Structure 1
């Protein structure tokens, strides 16, 4: 339980269904390094506790701070130092929520871990489980579960995946849950309302370099460090285009001379759009795709599924060809692989 309305209603529904449940807050981050930003973990714990009191269930706080630093924060910072664009939320779900925390639950005699994700899980005829998008497409969070495996999915429960968000808030209000009107949280998974740039500034030293125009190599400015930027970024570059109705966009990060490459945001901007990409570290929650197939991919959270040709290359890597060019694909980000609403797995952009 995060202290938000989604996990609160998840607990409510499980209680109504007759399950024997315990509410648990994963204490992963307390902003002990004084990173700029609001990290409301104390309020979240009190809100989660209040919901459990209302439901008449036990509440526990599980300290996973060391595991979170080792498995998520280290991954995040190492990725940015190497010029990648990591996804800490996906890694948090795989390594912490359905990793370390799932193991803690099993060690303490629990059968499953339920969360407030907008996703659905269905049992198949062969006893395996399928991961399905949430019914409310505006709130679907299946993308953040892309790297779960079948064993993790078997122990997962998503009680609210079939409920539209307005109905969920109504259920919370009718049950008198203290979180019924609480705003949804934004920010890094369990780090709180901390801007990524402020977080990186605390841990990754600045390494200034030139901002070059990709079309002709002309220097148009300076940047404080490549880790502050990602492919496709328009805001915060800090360089005016000096051209009417044109704006610069990041199209590349070059490690050998520490150069940030920009171009005017247009279909012909070099490196901005890609028709194919390679992915590595493939993880499946279903049977691995081992032959060339026409599937669908979600290139980032909130983007629609798009048609792809999936071409396995062995060694947990694959070539992915897009039917339509895709904008701003950055190394380190995650591609979710779908068969319709069913999420099969995913991989990391090379």
Structure 2
């Protein structure tokens, strides 16, 4: 996680936590203690009709969390149980209230569980040294300000940039990070903002949960959590890598984040963004 931020990427700790901790170290410990499975509160389902363990989107489209399970391995899925994946969130809260559970009305959890009740920026400040650099307008490299470190920002970010807009109707957005110059690149939000929208990308460290995909095929993906599935052309390029082409340009893809691959509601696997075009 920290190495990713130090390199200028935007890691997804939730996805890695599920694979390495919940269904990694913790699952191994549970099996050693004689248990068969690990149950979590993810809004996802297991496909009862599949010949091999397969994950489906959760029944609640507003809460579906299958995206966060994209890098799980088949042997991990075989020991997973998702008891609330078939429920809608309001129905689950109603059941919890009827059962008298003290957390029935608790707000949805946010943030990263293992860092505790602390903002991500404050957490990073403890472990990643500040490295100030220029904030440049992407169109012409005009200097607009100074940042404390590229690791505090992600592509598509609009708040907390530190550069006020000089118009009433437009806001600045982060469109890139120039590691060679240690520069944060920003532009006004819009379809014409340089580098903000992408027609294609490269992913690596691909993890598939079932049979291998054809070398070239048309499937779907979610470019980030809560985004809808979109059609893509998937082209294997070898060594766990693939080239992705979108039918429609996608906004604010960030190196280090996760692309989840789907066949309809069925989760196929996922990979890590390594190049955005």
TM-score interval (norm. to shorter): over 0.9
CA distance in 2, matches of 1:227, 1:273: 21
Helix, strand or coil: the match of 1:190?
helix
Q: Does 1:119 find its partner at 2:44?
A: yes
The 1-side partners of 2:135 and 2:184 are apart by 5
Equivalent positions of 1:130-141 (< 5 A) are 130-141=54-65
**Could you say which residue in structure 2 is the equivalent of 1:301?**
225
Specify every segment of 5 or more residues in structure 1 that has no aligned partner in the other structure, as ranges: 1-75
Query: In angstroms, what is the RMSD of aligned CA positions?
Result: 1.1
Q: 1:1-350 alignment to 2 at 5 Å?
A: 76-126=1-51, 128-350=52-274
Please tell me whether the aligned partners of residues 211 and 260 of structure 1 are also in contact (alpha carbons under 8 angstroms): yes
TM value normalised by structure 1? 0.77
The CA deviation at 1:190 is: 3.2
Aligned mates of 2:43, 2:223 — CA distance in 1? 18
TM-score under structure 2 length normalisation: 0.96
Q: Distance in 2 between matches of 1:105 and 1:244?
A: 56
- The C-alpha deviation readout for 1:48-82, integer Å capped at 9, x for no partner, is xxxxxxxxxxxxxxxxxxxxxxxxxxxx1110000
Q: Does the Cα contact within 8 Å between 1:186 and 1:193 map onto a contact in 2?
A: no
Deviations 1:74-112 (A, max 9, x none): xx1110000000000110000000000000000000011
Distance change (3 Å), C-alpha of 1:326 and 1:125: closer
Residue 124 of structure 1, CA deviation: 4.1
Give a deviation string over 1:159-215, Cα, whole Å, max 9, x none: 110011111111112222222222222111333332111111111110000001110
User: Unmatched 5+ residue regions in structure 2?
Assistant: none
Q: Distance in 1 between matches of 2:246 and 2:168?
A: 32
Determine if contact 1:296/1:305 at 8 Å carries over to the other structure: yes
Return the alpha-carbon distance in structure 2 between the equivalents of residues 161 and 201 of structure 1. Answer: 36
Higher mean C-alpha deviation, range 167-176 or range 199-208: 167-176
- 3-state SS in 2 of match to 1:268: coil
**Distance (Å, rounded) in 1 between the aligned partners of 2:233 and 2:165:** 37
**Do the aligned partners of 1:90 and 1:144 also contact (CA within 8 Å) in 2?**
yes
**Inter-partner Cα distance in structure 2 for 1:265 and 1:183:** 31
Q: Is the 8 A contact 1:185 1:192 kept in 2?
A: no
Q: Distance in 1 between matches of 2:245 and 2:69?
A: 23
Contact 1:186 1:192 in 2 (8 A): no
More helix by share: 1
- Cα distance between partner residues in 2 of 1:124 and 1:282: 25
Q: Bigger relative contact order, structure 1 or 2, given CA contacts below 8 A and separation 6+?
A: 2
